[in-house]
Structure 1
Amino acid sequence: MWWFQRGVCFLPVTLVVWSLAAFILNYVIAVLLGHIDPVIPYISDTSSEIPESCLFGFMLSISSFFGLSTVYVRYKQVEALAIGGEPRLHRLNSAALVLGFLTSLGMCIVANFQRSAIISVHLLGATLTFGSGVLYILVQTAMSYYMQPRFHRKDILWARTAVGLWTLASVITMFVSSVILYDVLPGVDVTSKLHWRPGEKGYTAHLVSTASEWSLAFSFIMYFLTYIRDFQKLRLRVQAVLQSNHLYDYGHYNVRGHVHHGEHSPLLAGSI
């Protein structure tokens, strides 16, 4: 059995591979069609024109679904491991679930309300994605501190801490450079400016801001790679139970039966 076939580690792996493909493929198409500059545009700039906007919306919507699934499975795993454990871990786990759902919701909003359509809704989705995503990573890293060395080795904690620091550095740099960019270009609609010339006023701040945004996005994606070992310990079991007792008499076209109300169909059950 290959490593990606163990447990349900296909969830974070698929999320990472598909999200990377969405960003990179969209960027390549936008550059080849001349819709953006090849030197580090904003991620939203790569979906400003058709056909890349359609592709980006489609692929990012699927990424949000995989993100939601991964976040929920992670929540159920920690919930099962922390049975009878300290209340602090349960509270952090619940907070992580909410933040993960908000991050996935933000991704879905960004995918369906792109910058060229409704800028205010797009910015709301981006704020949800980045803001909730940063908090989700920090909360999960704190949970890893309380879970090691009982549930995973210390190297997982160090890996998540490193990615968490990478995320913090990226979001701080992006915020500061964006403030500087708007300060040096008063009255300029920076959000709709797609082409920048080297030496132009605000060009350096623009490059730092866009590079920080890409760095932040990649730090989100890379964080889910740290789930692979944990998800390899999980198994999915599909079980459908229909409580009914039917008697069919096809010879006389009569149907007699009794159905017990309260159908029970647990679709997903995980075991560790």
Structure 2
Amino acid sequence: MCNPWFCVGMGWLPMSVGVMVMATFTISYSISVSLGHVPAEFPYISDTGTYVPESCIFGQLLNIAAALAFATMYVRYKNVIEYNHNEDSRVLLWNKIGLVMGSLAALGMSMVANFQEHNILDVHLFGAFMCFFLGTVYAYIHSWISYQFCPIWSSKQACMARLVLASLCLFSLLFTSIFAAVAQSKWEGEKPTKWSPEDGGFPEHIVSTVSEWILAVSFLLYFFTYIREFQKIRMEANIRLYTEDMMPINDPEV
């Protein structure tokens, strides 16, 4: 018998994002550690997908995850429009802004996957900024939208969970960025993907990498908060045929 968490409505979509991202991190981390490319103690996520062969797996799976993330955010966008029967202009505006922020964040995730840090560092960092910063903005926007429909559509627990996770994303992002800059200023090593205590800035480096992992997990959990609401969604495709003069063939008047 099918598990309802996977089969009811569109609940499988946000879950697939988390499953795909976790698979990406787990596989690339396992391979990179086993081959000695990174240390086992909290490397940066991108470090686990820097060298061949793990970089190929990291890029392929993360691209799929980015596409699934965009699909989830688009369905959420359409769902908000459907529930906004009162046509609150604020909700419609912020829903559109959220879709833009989310789309750019998904694009940033794809850029992180395709532009490894040891190849084109500037593009990689810009993609990471888009993914994490704009993703955090998206999380706050839809936390606010959730409260506008609470408790009719979104439960109080879901609203609170989204706000807490969005705040955790923000603080983790700040810690990651600040301590990464401090650690880099103290680093005197030769291979940044294998940072050791003797290289300088090691404590700050660990704080930065741990914060990045917390940031990534917070995003995944945010998508999981959509599962219950997505289970109520059914999507249908309407296909209409037209003649050469653009008259609908299936129109009763034709």
Say yes or no: TM over 0.5: yes
Q: RMSD of the alignment, in Å?
A: 1.8
After superposition, give the CA deviation of every residue in 1:160-207 in whole Å (9 maximum; x if it has no partner): 12212221221121122123213334xx589x6111223542110010
Counterpart residue number, 1:174: 176
Find the aligned partners of 1:109 and 1:262 in 2 and give their Cα distance.
Answer: 43
Find the aligned partners of 2:25 and 2:79 in 1 and give their Cα distance.
Answer: 29
Matched residues, number:
247
Flag structure 1 segments of 5+ consecutive residues without an equivalent: 245-258, 265-272
Counterpart residue number, 2:209: 210
User: Is 1:26 matched with 2:28?
Assistant: yes
Higher relative contact order (CA 8 A, sep 6+): 2
Tell me the secondary structure at the aligned position of residue 124 of structure 2. helix
Counterpart residue number, 2:159: 157
Instruction: Give the TM-score normalised by structure 2.
Output: 0.91
Find the aligned partners of 1:182 and 1:261 in 2 and give their Cα distance.
Answer: 62
Report 1:82-97 matches (<5 A): 82-97=84-99
Find the aligned partners of 1:126 and 1:241 in 2 and give their Cα distance.
Answer: 41
Find the aligned partners of 2:16 and 2:133 in 1 and give their Cα distance.
Answer: 23
The one-letter code sitting in structure 2 at the alignment partner of 1:57 is G
Q: Give, in angstroms, the shift of residue 12 of structure 1.
A: 0.3
Find the aligned partners of 2:216 and 2:247 in 1 and give their Cα distance.
Answer: 44
Instruction: Give the TM-score normalised by structure 1.
Output: 0.86
User: Is 1:234 matched with 2:219?
Assistant: no
Comparing both structures, which one devotes a greater share of its residues to helix?
2
Report 1:238-257 matches (<5 A): 238-244=237-243
Find the aligned partners of 1:152 and 1:225 in 2 and give their Cα distance.
Answer: 14
Flag structure 2 segments of 5+ consecutive residues without an equivalent: 250-254
Tell me the secondary structure at the aligned position of residue 194 of structure 1. helix
Report 1:1-272 matches (<5 A): 2-3=3-4, 4-185=6-187, 193-198=192-197, 200-244=199-243, 259-261=244-246
Tell me the secondary structure at the aligned position of residue 225 of structure 2. helix
Q: Give, in angstroms, the shift of residue 14 of structure 1.
A: 0.6
The range that moved more, 231-240 or 104-113, is 231-240
Counterpart residue number, 1:267: none
Find the aligned partners of 1:228 and 1:260 in 2 and give their Cα distance.
Answer: 44
Question: Are the aligned partners of 2:183 and 2:200 in contact in 1 as well (CA < 8 Å)?
Answer: no
Comparing both structures, which one devotes a greater share of its residues to strand?
1
Q: Give, in angstroms, the shift of residue 27 of structure 1.
A: 0.3
Tell me the secondary structure at the aligned position of residue 117 of structure 2. coil
* Cα 1:43–1:263 shift into 2, 3 Å: farther
Larger Rg: 1
